[in-house]
Structure 1
């Protein structure tokens, strides 16, 4: 196995840093995984690429070699930022900030990220309303299971519906927990998200429909929302497919928008809120 463990330890010692638990820092040290991530991103000379959470810069180095039109590296750790600015001067723009503050944005075509596990839900939620052509993410295996969960299963939740309705989701590879330093307690998967081209207005309406439905997930959807199609109305929320939720959003969009315009959104500020 080709890994960068010794390089990572030497660099952390040189910079005088240790992985910060509060920042969810687990640095990827597998050359094979880094290559797979970049291959999946399929970067061209026309792409504006953003790496969210650049860490020690090992993935960044490979992204530079792929020769995008522009590369933006985002990192919140100030010591690491200073190092990245020196290392990639003239090759990439380095932004020292919280990656989540950049979304939504229309300034890039490809997104690459090995994010902290504890922001996975927030990150995917934010990507739902962002304008990009492809995102390649390394996420906890269990969380990817939720993204791809089928209707009627225990893992099927609001994030399953929204993600599958808005994105084409593909699993590109597996990464063992032992390919990170420090070693996390979970394994990871490389996934790609390619938007289906659904408009922002429809996504906003879909969100409200899904939010309402999953607040009473075991009730028949016809008892929760004004649905004329009896075939759909008789189903419980947890048994509806993403396409059926999208059909509901398209058919009752105006009604649900009016109902929300006259009340406070109780989910504002939570990971449900788009």
Structure 2
């Protein structure tokens, strides 16, 4: 197996660091996976690429070799940041900050990330509001199952609906847990997210519809929202397809949801969506 295990251990020893559990640090050490991630990103000389959570810089090195117009590396660990600034001086811009505080404020065309597992939901939620052409992420296998879940299944949630409406979602590859240091308890998948071009206004309305519906997921949607389509109105929220949720959002509009359900704004708390 072609991996970077010895390189990673030597570099961590040189920098005097150990993976921090509070930061969710699991460093990818598979050359094959790194190549697959970059191949999936399909980087051109016109792309502005942001790597969110650059870690030890192994993926960053391959991104540099792909010769994007600009490469931005984001890393929150200050010791690692200092190392990345030295290593990639003149080749990439290094931002020492929490990746979640960056979205959706920076302009870029491609996103590449091996994020901590514990921010997967927040990250995908933020990407729903961001302008980019393609994102390639390494996410926990079980979480990807939620993104691609079908109506009526246990894994089908609000993030399933929003992700499937807003993005084309493709699974590009599998990464075993043994390709990380330290070894996590879960396996991962490489996925690509390509926006379908749905407007921000529609996405915001859709979010209100979906969160209201999933607050009472087993009730008929017609009892929760003002639905004119009788066929849809008789369905339970958990059985509605993403396209049906989009149809609802387009038909009733965000202003009606706001007026009719202003007393239910607590439904939106706990998500990472800020309207």
Instruction: Tell me if TM exceeds 0.5.
Output: yes
Aligned equivalents of 1:263, 1:191: Cα separation in 2: 34
Question: Which stretch has the larger CA shift, 163-172 or 99-108?
Answer: 99-108
User: Over aligned residue pairs, what C-alpha RMSD do you find?
Assistant: 1.3
- TM, length-normalised to structure 1: 0.97
* Residue-by-residue CA offset, 1:124-177 (whole Å, 9 max, x unaligned): 000000000000000000000000000000100000000001000000000000
Distance 1:220 1:228, change over 3 A: same
Count of matched residue positions in the alignment of Structure 1 and Structure 2: 274
Aligned equivalents of 2:129, 2:182: Cα separation in 1: 32
Structure 1 SS opposite 2:272: coil
Aligned equivalents of 1:106, 1:134: Cα separation in 2: 15
Q: Is the 8 Å Cα contact of residues 221 and 237 (structure 1) preserved in structure 2? A: yes
Question: Which stretch has the larger CA shift, 190-199 or 259-268?
Answer: 259-268
Deviation at 1:247, TM superposition (A): 0.3
Deviation at 1:86, TM superposition (A): 0.1
Q: Is the 8 Å Cα contact of residues 215 and 267 (structure 2) preserved in structure 1? A: no
* Residue-by-residue CA offset, 1:183-231 (whole Å, 9 max, x unaligned): 0000000000000000000000000000000000000000000001001
- TM, length-normalised to structure 2: 0.97
Aligned equivalents of 1:269, 1:216: Cα separation in 2: 16
1:169 aligns with 2:202: no
Structure 2 SS opposite 1:193: strand
Deviation at 1:271, TM superposition (A): 3.1
Distance 1:231 1:266, change over 3 A: closer
Deviation at 1:272, TM superposition (A): 5.3
Distance 1:261 1:106, change over 3 A: farther
Aligned equivalents of 1:193, 1:268: Cα separation in 2: 25
Deviation at 1:89, TM superposition (A): 0.1
Structure 1 SS opposite 2:267: coil
Name the counterpart of 1:62. Answer: 62
**5+ long unaligned stretches in structure 2:** none
Q: Is the 8 Å Cα contact of residues 211 and 272 (structure 1) preserved in structure 2? A: no
Q: Is the 8 Å Cα contact of residues 106 and 131 (structure 1) preserved in structure 2? A: no
Aligned equivalents of 1:155, 1:264: Cα separation in 2: 24
Q: Is the 8 Å Cα contact of residues 111 and 132 (structure 2) preserved in structure 1? A: yes
Q: Is the 8 Å Cα contact of residues 105 and 131 (structure 1) preserved in structure 2? A: no
Aligned equivalents of 1:99, 1:272: Cα separation in 2: 16
Aligned equivalents of 2:261, 2:46: Cα separation in 1: 41
Distance 1:102 1:157, change over 3 A: same
Deviation at 1:29, TM superposition (A): 0.1
**5+ long unaligned stretches in structure 1:** none
Q: Is the 8 Å Cα contact of residues 161 and 242 (structure 2) preserved in structure 1? A: yes
Q: Is the 8 Å Cα contact of residues 172 and 191 (structure 1) preserved in structure 2? A: yes
Deviation at 1:258, TM superposition (A): 3.2
Distance 1:264 1:159, change over 3 A: closer
Q: Is the 8 Å Cα contact of residues 221 and 236 (structure 1) preserved in structure 2? A: yes
Aligned equivalents of 1:267, 1:247: Cα separation in 2: 21
Aligned equivalents of 1:199, 1:126: Cα separation in 2: 15
Deviation at 1:266, TM superposition (A): 4.9
Aligned equivalents of 1:154, 1:273: Cα separation in 2: 26
Q: Is the 8 Å Cα contact of residues 212 and 267 (structure 2) preserved in structure 1? A: no
